[in-house]
Structures are given as structure tokens and as C-alpha cells.
Amino acid sequence: MHHGYYIPENRTDHQQAQVDLIDEVLQWAEVGLKPATLPTRVVDVGCGIGGSSRHISRKFGSTVKAITLSPYQASRGNELNAEQGLSKKVNLQVADALEMPFEDNSFDLAWSLESGEHMPDKEKFVNELFRVVEPGGRIVVVTWVHRDLEEGEESLTRKEKRILSMINRAYYLPPWCSTNDYVKLFEKNGKR
């Protein structure tokens, strides 16, 4: 379950809010707005039970390979794929996002919705996304981050660290990074 896009503010349909979140992110990333950005081969990294995978496949006709660490999620997602007639287009498998079982340049879109926060090595995560996406392909990552540090700051405040520590314990999450940290990782890969 993802957070959702709650516009209008009085929305109570949580499933539609989740679908709207996917669509808003796709539009923001300009995925499918022009023929050159139409995804045909997609990897969904940290797919859960594959809701984003099925939606993207239906929306664009894409073939989607999706990965999760959970055997239950992969099994349940593939059951849903079968129930919805998408078994030939969408496949979930158990795999580690930090060591994906795919060849280099296998996809034209890498999609990761609210999964990056679970990655213990953010640099390796980004490196793997770049490895499996073909040159000119798109990488879309929506993840939890902490605030960017201000100029001269060495770290978050003690209070911020304490709050993040409580969240991380509650959700079994490794340390977070900031948006700027992700930007630097993407820029570093873009220059390779």
C-alpha cells in the first residue's frame, strides 16, 4: 500500500488515491507523453504485490518484470496478475534490488515507488537502476528522504535524528538520505 494522492482533499477512496499517485508520478516524469517516452520494457523495483506493475502494463501495454524480497508478495502478485489476465505481461519474482538478476540495458523504464527507503546501500541501489536501464531510458524513484542540509550544516539536528531513528525502528528501515544525496548519486552515474 502506498500513500496515495489525495486530491481533492476530501477523497476517501484509498485505492483510487494510490492509482492517482502512480499517474501523477508518471505524468511528472513525462513517461508516455511522447512516443519516445512510451515504456515497453519495465522493471518495478520493490514491487510489493505489483499494483504499480499491473497499472503501468495496462496503461502503456508494457511488459513488466517486478522484484520483491518477499516470496509471499511475489506469489500473491502473480495470482492477481492471473486473475486480471496479465500473466503474459507482468511477472513478479523474488530478487534483491541491490543485485538484480537482469542483463545490462534490459529496460527502458525503471520504476521504484516507496522502496528506496528500504535499501541499505543507496549508492548500490542507484548503480543497479542505471545498470539495468538502457541508455536514454528513464528511472523514476519515489522514496522517503530526510531534508537537505543547509550550507554549513554537517548533519541533521539531534531531534531530527531521534525522530528518524524512531521511524526506522518502527518500519525496520536503514538510514535515509536526502534528495540532494540522491541527485548526486544520479549525477555521478549520468557521467559514466
Inside any domain, residue 101: yes
Inside any domain, residue 180: no
Average pLDDT of span 49-65? 98
Which residue in 83, 114, 117, 160 is the catalytic one?
114
**3 state DSSP class of 113:** strand
Inside any domain, residue 115: yes
Inside any domain, residue 186: no
Read off the amino acid at residue 55: H
Inside any domain, residue 93: yes
Inside any domain, residue 82: yes
Crossing angle of helices 14-28 and 51-60, in 10° steps, is 60
Q: Model pTM? A: 0.94
Overall number of domains in the chain = 1
Q: What is the pLDDT confidence band of residue 2, given thresholds at 50, 70 and 90?
A: low
134 is catalytic: no
Inside any domain, residue 138: yes
Instruction: Provide the 8-state DSSP code for 36.
Output: G
Inside any domain, residue 80: yes
Domain boundaries, position 27:
14-143
Give me the percent of the chain exceeding a pLDDT of 70: 98
Give, in order, the Cα–Cα distances in Å from 1 to each of 18, 135, 186. 8, 31, 26
Q: What is the CATH number of the domain that holds 62?
A: 3.40.50.150
Q: What is the pLDDT confidence band of residue 191, given thresholds at 50, 70 and 90?
A: low
